[in-house]
Amino acid sequence: MFCLVGADPADYGLSRVLVGPKSDGLVRIELAYVRGAHRPYLYKSLWGTYDPCKLTVLLHRPRHLAKERTMSAIQDFVNLAVNACTKWNLGYDQSNRLDFRDGGETDCSALVIICAEKTGLLPGNDIKAGKGATFTGNMAAAFAARGWQVHRPALPASQLRPGDVLLNDADHTAIYIGNGQLAQASIDEHGNAAGGASGNQSGRETNVMAYYNFPWTATLRHPAPAPVNPAPATPGSDRLITGQSLHMGESIKSRDGNHTLILQLDGNLVLYTAPGKPIWNTATVGTGDHFVLQGDSNLVLYDNAGKPLHAWGGQGTGANHLVVQNDGNLVLYKDDPLQAIWATNTQGR
């Protein structure tokens, strides 16, 4: 939380001039915001013997933060499912499916629905009260009523995003978690739908495994982008690593300082040489908002509503870092062994 103390600039004379415009004489205020905050913050205080602050400071969130809370909820949704299926001792039993806890029981639809409820992605849904989504057969309609997109036929694996719900309306559902994997509740330790002991007796009753086609009859997708709440690029770095992003006004620069990739304030993502010559751009003036190297190895440029404008790289390739090289090429690499997955091919320009 920010605490900015302001006062009447007239009280400070020369100090106001020295600090400069957008100043109250003591604090220069410019582009202040709280990253990840779900609302603005306002703080007033007293200053010595002067009256209460005459300067009102309201910290607005920039456009690119408008979706961060929902984006974070999608990541929480994925994380909760993964933790429940890998770190908890959570078993499978349709007759005790709402005992969602470490040491408890669930089934495929209860896992997905309860994770979505607990992370705020199904407002007004209450599986325990029988309200909204309660089993695979009514999930598509109930999720759609709460703002989710229903894709029929199901999206191919190449188009999936972390947080997508994989649905077979009659028999099964799971959560796509990225990197070619899904989280699911499968079957009890005896291969039955009910009757087993509490907890994950076989180690496979709830699990994370490689993506497969059940077959899925629909994909349910929350309209916000994933991943949620990506970290900013490391200041002074020549690269983005998995989970990092550029927001408007942010950049990464080659180690020799001669080439810069910047997401401009006008929304265009541009690669420049040192003299300021653009050698590659996305032609997204007025639309680009944030640029992310996602956990699924895709590079994606989104608008401020969370709609992908461009995507590069390759889902499932293992690519994990994007580098602005000294030769002017922008390259997406995977490790072990080092391999280029995608590039702008702008070297030497």
Per residue in 13-36, pLDDT tens?
544 444 444 444 444 444 444 444
Closest alpha carbon to 71 in 36, 41, 39: 36
Of the pLDDT bands very low, low, confident and very high (cuts 50, 70, 90), residue 225 is low
pLDDT of residue 162: 87
Task: Locate the DSSP E strands across 169-326.
Answer: 172-178, 181-185, 206-210, 218-221, 231-232, 239-241, 244-247, 251-253, 259-263, 269-273, 278-281, 290-293, 298-302, 308-313, 319-324
Answer whether residue 74 shows pLDDT above 80: yes
When pLDDT is averaged across residues 48-63 and rounded to a whole number, the result is 40
Mean pLDDT of the chain: 81
What are phi and psi for residue 157, nearest 5 degrees?
-55, -35
Say which residue, 187 or 315, is predicted with more confidence. 187
Of the pLDDT bands very low, low, confident and very high (cuts 50, 70, 90), residue 122 is very high
When pLDDT is averaged across residues 70-99 and rounded to a whole number, the result is 89
Answer whether residue 51 shows pLDDT above 50: no
pLDDT of residue 230: 60
**Residue 49 CA neighbour count, 13 Å, CB half:** 1
When pLDDT is averaged across residues 248-254 and rounded to a whole number, the result is 92
pLDDT of residue 298: 87
pLDDT of residue 118: 94
Amino acid at 35: R
What are phi and psi for residue 196, nearest 5 degrees?
-80, 175
Question: pLDDT above 70 covers what percent of the chain?
Answer: 77
When pLDDT is averaged across residues 280-293 and rounded to a whole number, the result is 94
Closest alpha carbon to 115 in 145, 86, 162, 77: 77
